[in-house]
Amino acid sequence: MIIVTGGAGFIGSHLVKGLNQLGCDEIVIVDHLKSSEKITNLSGVRFYDYLDKFSFLEAVKTRREFSKPIQAIFHQGACSDTTCTDLHYLLENNFEYSKQLLHYAMHTAIPFIYASSASVYGLASTFKEHPDYEHPLNGYAFSKFVFDQYVRKILPEAHIPIIGLRYFNVYGLHECHKGPMASVIFHFNQQAKKEGCIRLFEGSGGYKNGEQRRDFVAVEDIVRVNLWFLEHLKHSGIFNVGTGKSASFNQVAHAILQRYPGGVLRYIPFPESLKEHYQHFTEADVTALRAVGYNEPFRSIEKGIPLYLKQQV
């Protein structure tokens, strides 16, 4: 049996589907469904059980045994709202909860694979898994950063595989429930479809209009990396997961407008409130990931965006 926290969410539901494709349906989905908006994410996937996050956390704290042996824990659940300013809430959800689950995994000898975030790098220009380059700029990034730091201290004494995967800018089907936190690719597509234009930021951070750059990675690639580590549990550590090649927002917008003839770009003033807290550039250094043997190619935006938009129909 495999546990997937955040299993009804964007990446978590894709991970459940990926496990299904490997023939695994003995899956416990852990989530906290306040409304029905994420139910469609689980349409067509197979799983053994569903647990509310708080019921699951109580079972973890009391070291309660599950009905079947657990093969691995994929910890995808978190508050992913980068605009949230309630640091106590973020640390409770993204740090304390993760610590409880990590210690449960260590106590019961269960491999632990969890989602980290490229947001920990802040305004760095080098994106390598080392504290020298980690400078979180908001509460969400800090909550991910402190758990990564905790994992680094635990690793030398851990007797289980512990794998942290630092996701860069993930896009794909089933992200619409994320609202403002959905990828810019999702939002650009919505703008082009409804308004016939895509709005990009004017120049900032030394970049010209729309030339700010991010490492956009397809959710299918994120799933492949997670499942690869499930099959290669001799490895532990924190690993970047991105394409290793950044793309400008202009490139992304033009790729989307191929679908909407007559669509135009409009540049809007860069918000003053973001100037000190905005990643103008991200690009994953995937040296560590390649070094442990992951050699699958990552989908470029030229291939990934058309496939994504086709799924949106």
Q: Is 140 a catalytic residue?
A: yes
Q: Residue type for 273, please?
A: S
Catalytic pick among 97, 104, 121, 140: 140
CA separation for the pair 183, 172 (Å, rounded):
8
Q: Is 133 a catalytic residue?
A: no
CA separation for the pair 113, 154 (Å, rounded):
14
For the four alpha carbons of 128, 186, 247 and 297, in that order, the dihedral sign comes to positive
Q: Are strands 247-248 and 213-214 parallel, antiparallel or unpaired?
A: antiparallel
Catalytic pick among 53, 99, 128, 178: 178
CA separation for the pair 306, 257 (Å, rounded):
10
CA separation for the pair 98, 145 (Å, rounded):
12
Helices (H), the chain: 10-21, 53-61, 87-91, 97-107, 139-154, 184-195, 219-231, 249-257, 287-291, 301-311
CA–centroid distance for 242 within its chain? 10
Q: If you search the block for the tokens 């700010």, which residue do you land on?
A: 212
Radius of gyration (C-alpha) of the chain in whole angstroms:
19
Q: Which residue numbers are catalytic?
A: 140, 178
